[in-house]
Homo-oligomer: A and B are copies of this chain.
């Protein structure tokens, strides 16, 4: 420990703090020396694998669906599945999840069905969000998964506030907040972490550092030792973990949850990974990064790593693998076909939920709109047939 007073001037170097990366699993599925794996029973371990695979199959299908023009937009989590599945798996169902948008794995772990994913992506009348947001903006009260919002980092102080409420209520519950290393540059990051620390909130902040914010590489996002090194500045206990190592992510999150609850204090986790695919279907990464870099990371596939471990445990084999992939492919395809046939919500839902009850002005606006739609039914084919439904 340094003395608290010095009499010769010295700049504390920008790299005074090094936060190491916690890893358990090697890419071949074996443990590092000295590493202790968490105690999973077989069915839990297999469930996690299923959720990883589901997420990957979902992403693959939906990227295609977007290419085919069936949905306007999609955003995959390719290469980062383990970080969200592994962390959410370490939580309890009552814990609230604030996701950024690339955490479909976490939602799947909580039990969101293929049908529910499809209904959201196709903005149909069964979408819990009533067709109001772009594909991938999932949310479910039943599953304690906060509806996703596009403006980045806004969920960070919200998660602090939510967990403060959980604490007041005396629930045995925390909130977890996922965000990218890009979003961590927003003012709301600073606000959220500092408030959580000083107001003693049981919040887990999980930064997915996947190397890029769209085209901007992490080196143009910040200069310090990643996002983790900022935690200490807020007085927040912090851990950096290999985000492609599901077991390590699980253990780190479990530890974070325990600490957060026991101490009413936040924890910051930085999960190091890589966005293997494009940012979204609107993006083409060939414009800003090399094939070599991508290939290097493709070799670190988190799903494969976990599969190797599972196989070595004797809990997984090729037959199960094949069956699982085809089951999910078929299920998703079938649900997609069903979802795209379902109509959009009725026009009334254009004005519901702005307030708890529509105001007089809104009712008036809807009435006028309906009159207009009746006059020009062909221009509004999605709603004109069901105006009085």
Contact = CB atoms under 8 A, between A and B. Distances in A.
B22 A7 contact: yes
Most buried by B among A7, A222, A234: A7
Interface residues of A, number: 65
A10 B188 CA distance: 27
A76 interface: no
Interface string A96-139: 00000000000000000000000000000000000000000000
A4 B22 contact: no
A236 to B, nearest CB: 6
Contact of A11 (B8, B13, B185, B267): B267
A20 B32 contact: no
Contact of A251 (B9, B34, B186): B9
A198 interface: yes
A304 interface: no
Contacts of A18: 1-2, 4
Interface centre among A20, A228, A251 (most CB of B within 10 A): A20
A259 interface: yes
Given A4-B20, A229-B233, A232-B232, 6 more contacts: A7-B24, A11-B237, A12-B19, A14-B237, A190-B190, A224-B232
Interface of A: 1-24, 32-36, 185-191, 194, 197-198, 219-225, 228-239, 248, 251-252, 255-256, 259, 267
**Nearest 10 A/B pairs, CB to CB:** A187-B187, A223-B235, A230-B233, A190-B190, A224-B235, A11-B237, A197-B223, A7-B35, A14-B235, A233-B233
12 contacts: A3-B20, A7-B35, A8-B36, A9-B22, A11-B259, A187-B188, A197-B223, A197-B224, A198-B223, A224-B233, A229-B232, A230-B234
